[in-house]
Amino acid sequence: MLWLLLVAIPLWLAAQGSNLPVGNPAYHLLDRLEIKSGVLPPYHSSLKYYTRGDAVHFALSLDSSEQLSASDRRDLRHFYLDNNEWLGAPPLPLVIGEKRDARLMVPASVANAHYETSGKPVLRYFYRTPANWFEVDGSYFHLRINPLINFQLSKEREDGKYWRFINQRGVEIRGGLDDRIFFYSKITDTQASFPDYVNQFFEKYHAWPGFAYFKPYKSSHITIRDGRDNLNAEAYFGLNISKHVGMQLGHGSNFIGNGYRSMLLSNFSSNYLYLKLNWQFGPIRYQNLFAELTAQSRADFTGDRLLPKKYMAAHYFSLAFSKNFTLGLYEATIFTRDSEIGQFELSYLNPVILYRAVEHFIGSPDNVLLGLDAKVNLFRRAQVYGQLLIDEFNT
């Protein structure tokens, strides 16, 4: 077992803080640093989302490396600005009921050399640091509030009559309490007219990728077709149960697997209610995910009524065999129940046992998915990854 001890150094422990949203430029930077350095990060890249605390710890551990280019250091500066509340985080997370025996995280972050303030804040209270519209740094509490604005306008070459656009506004809030409890919320209001390939997807599935509810939209300013209006929200809170186990409860999406999209579990769907447990010990990462899913699109129904529900119980085991090779195993069960026998199948709450064994025990027709995910970093210059998914195609 000597190899197991070797790859466990350094021993990264429980995840800390809110998540880095998928699509954040930090993912490209962190993946690049992992490939170039040959250092095993405190997270496994197949388990999105990375937590901000883990990501900052990894970046700081490489900050003095001579391998970093001028571009890397410029990107790191922006990364530190975006996640400045974690610059002074302790190496071990605080858990519920634990007595504090070290310096408070937020004051330590403010004192860190990478923490920057703005020369001229707006109206004294806004943009006091370059990356945050409104920021609060207390001894036991931190808060970040930022506006979200996304506006795009274009015309398709084949159809120059109609405009395609996205007009999205929103707000993003994240924070923490007592260095133990963390929360995040994002609300967006979107009006859009998408390209034909997105409209074709909607016509086929009656769903808008990433959104649950929408209504028709017509613009009084420009000529559009197939306009849609959507109000979307996601939120969660998390806490450290122990130094090796973290919990998160929320309404949002999840991502398991390497790549821009994943066959195992991707964030392509609309948001859903979930409970997630993350286990970390040495080179092993283990995740339990329990979720309530909407079986059909709101576009298929009229009036006010509850949509049919499905449920998911999934777990994912990832092992770093070395600094350059990681292998993950995925298993999930998708199921539904009628009112006579209840809703969520409590037998699936077992976080360890194989769901196939549970299926045989309860006489279930539920659909089980089995998957494999592998990643290899080559010669500190490239990364290769792949996935295999087996689906029973049961309904």
Query: Residue 127: what pLDDT?
Result: 95
Distance between CA atoms of residues 368 and 332, nearest Å? 6
Distance between CA atoms of residues 213 and 208, nearest Å? 8
**How large a percentage of the chain has pLDDT more than 70?**
84
Is residue 305 scored above 80 in pLDDT? no
- Looking at every residue in the chain, the average pLDDT score rounds to 84
Q: Determine phi and psi for 215, rounding to 5 degrees.
A: -140, 160
Are both 201 and 184 inside the same structural domain?
yes
Are both 282 and 392 inside the same structural domain?
yes
Tell me if 36 is assigned to some domain. Answer: no
Query: Residue 72: what pLDDT?
Result: 93
Distance between CA atoms of residues 283 and 321, nearest Å? 7
Boundary of a domain, candidates 180, 207, 239: 239
- Which position has the higher pLDDT, 283 or 215? 283
Identify the weakest region by mean pLDDT among 161-165, 333-337, 361-365: 361-365
Tell me whether strands 47-48 and 284-294 are parallel, antiparallel or unpaired: unpaired
Q: The pTM is what?
A: 0.87
CB 279 within 8 Å of CB 13: no
Distance between CA atoms of residues 314 and 365, nearest Å? 16
Q: How many domains does the chain have?
A: 2
Are both 245 and 326 inside the same structural domain?
yes
**Numbers of helices and strands, H then E, in the chain:** 7, 16
Tell me if 81 is assigned to some domain. Answer: no
Query: Residue 205: what pLDDT?
Result: 79
Distance between CA atoms of residues 268 and 86, nearest Å? 29
Tell me if 159 is assigned to some domain. Answer: yes
Query: Residue 77: what pLDDT?
Result: 96
Mean pLDDT along residues 176-196: 90
Tell me if 48 is assigned to some domain. Answer: no
CB 367 within 8 Å of CB 310: no
173: containing domain: 140-239
Are both 362 and 273 inside the same structural domain?
yes
Tell me if 342 is assigned to some domain. Answer: yes
Q: Determine phi and psi for 188, rounding to 5 degrees.
A: -135, 145
Are both 235 and 296 inside the same structural domain?
no
Tell me if 4 is assigned to some domain. Answer: yes
Are both 308 and 190 inside the same structural domain?
no
Q: Which residues contact 74 (CB under 8 A, 6 or more apart)?
A: none
